[in-house]
Structures are given as C-alpha cells and as structure tokens.
C-alpha cells in the first residue's frame, strides 16, 4: 500500500525531443521500461465523487492491478496541487469491480496511456511522461513541492504552462459524451 500526500504539476509537452534533451541535461534517467496503463474511473450515478473532485480508480499495468482513492485537490498559486492519495494492490481485479458495483458505483471513464518515468538521485521527484491517444504528450512532475518548482523552472520551454485539468477534463472539453480514451 502506498499513501499520503501527492504533489503534482501537469504540463503539455510541445516537443518530446526538447524535453528528453532537457531531462538528460538535468541528470534524469529513464526507468528501463515504459508502463502501459489502463485506468478505470468509478463514480455514483449522480456523479457526486467527480463533483467533489474525489477519484476512485482501478489501474491495471504490468500484470498488476491497484485500487486508488484520491481526495480533492488543494491548489497552489503556481498551478500545481496537493491531494491525499491511497493506492492498494488488488489480487483479483474482477472482485474489486464487483465490490465497487455493490457499493453503488459505476464505471464512468476509461483511460489508456503509455507512461515513462524519469528519476534523478538524490531527488524524490519523479517525472512521468504520459502519451495519451488523441491528446498527445503530457508530463507530470510528482514529488516535494520545492523539487517540482525547481524542475519546472529548469525545464523552461520544454514544457507548457501548468495544466489544471485532469485527463478526463482535457479529453471531454470538446467531446463531453466521450467515455474512454484508448489506443486503437
């Protein structure tokens, strides 16, 4: 189980090569393998979790599954946010899906993405480069707030301005009826 406070800043990536070059120059090293993730989001039929900025998610990746719960975001002046996050390993994903349904929750959104993580010792900051079908590339900076601020400044033009919307909000801005974002 992992849990605690999640600090994050999300940014659109205008030029992947420029970002990779900047990360290398700053001493970040990519994890050996990219991660293919499928996220399923749950809410009650009235949408009260989403309205309250609360997330209930199942993530399946690398032959594993995790249930994730996130509290409402608390925004910082720089566009980053902090929220409570708890993730639990799931031995039987179908059992967890059934348990969520028994609690009155329904699957409302499905997101597929490819994620590459970059790290730099001794930082605890993780740079996640996400490829989303139809939306392009985004980077999430996750870690202590001062490390996020320093990385944002150092990456400069290799990343766009802070993006306050989550991937669902970005994807459905023009298509509110969209219920999934998957690779074809």
pTM as predicted? 0.93
pLDDT digit string, tens, across residues 98-143: 999 999 999 999 999 999 999 999 989 999 999 999 899 999 999 9
Task: For residues 21 and 139, give the distance between their C-alpha atoms in angstroms, rounded to a whole number.
Answer: 14
Domain ranges of the chain: 2-181
Task: For residues 111 and 37, give the distance between their C-alpha atoms in angstroms, rounded to a whole number.
Answer: 8
pLDDT digit string, tens, across residues 8-44: 999 999 999 999 999 999 999 999 999 999 999 999 9
Q: E strands, 26-174, where?
A: 29-30, 35-43, 55-61, 64-70, 74-75, 81-89, 106-119, 126-132, 136-142
When pLDDT is averaged across residues 62-71 and rounded to a whole number, the result is: 94
Q: Domain 2-181 belongs to what architecture? A: Beta Barrel (2.40)
């Amino acid at each position: 189980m992992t849990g605690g406070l999640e600090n994050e800043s999300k940014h659109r990536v205008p030029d992947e090569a420029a970002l990779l070059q900047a990360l290398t120059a700053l001493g970040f090293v990519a994890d050996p393998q990219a991660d293919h993730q499928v996220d399923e989001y749950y809410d009650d039929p009235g949408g009260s979790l989403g309205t309250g900025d609360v997330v209930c998610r199942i993530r399946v990746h690398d032959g594993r599954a995790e249930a994730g719960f996130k509290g409402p975001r608390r925004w910082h002046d720089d566009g980053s946010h902090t929220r409570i996050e708890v993730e639990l390993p799931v031995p039987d994903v179908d059992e967890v899906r059934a348990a969520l349904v028994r609690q009155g929750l329904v699957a409302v959104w499905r997101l597929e993405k490819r994620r590459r993580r970059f790290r730099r010792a001794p930082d605890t900051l993780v740079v996640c480069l996400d490829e989303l079908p139809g939306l392009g590339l985004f980077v999430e900076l996750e870690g202590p707030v001062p490390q996020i601020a320093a990385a944002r400044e150092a990456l400069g033009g290799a990343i766009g301005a802070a993006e306050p919307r989550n991937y669902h909000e970005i994807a459905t801005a023009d298509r509110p009826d969209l219920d999934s974002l998957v690779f074809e």
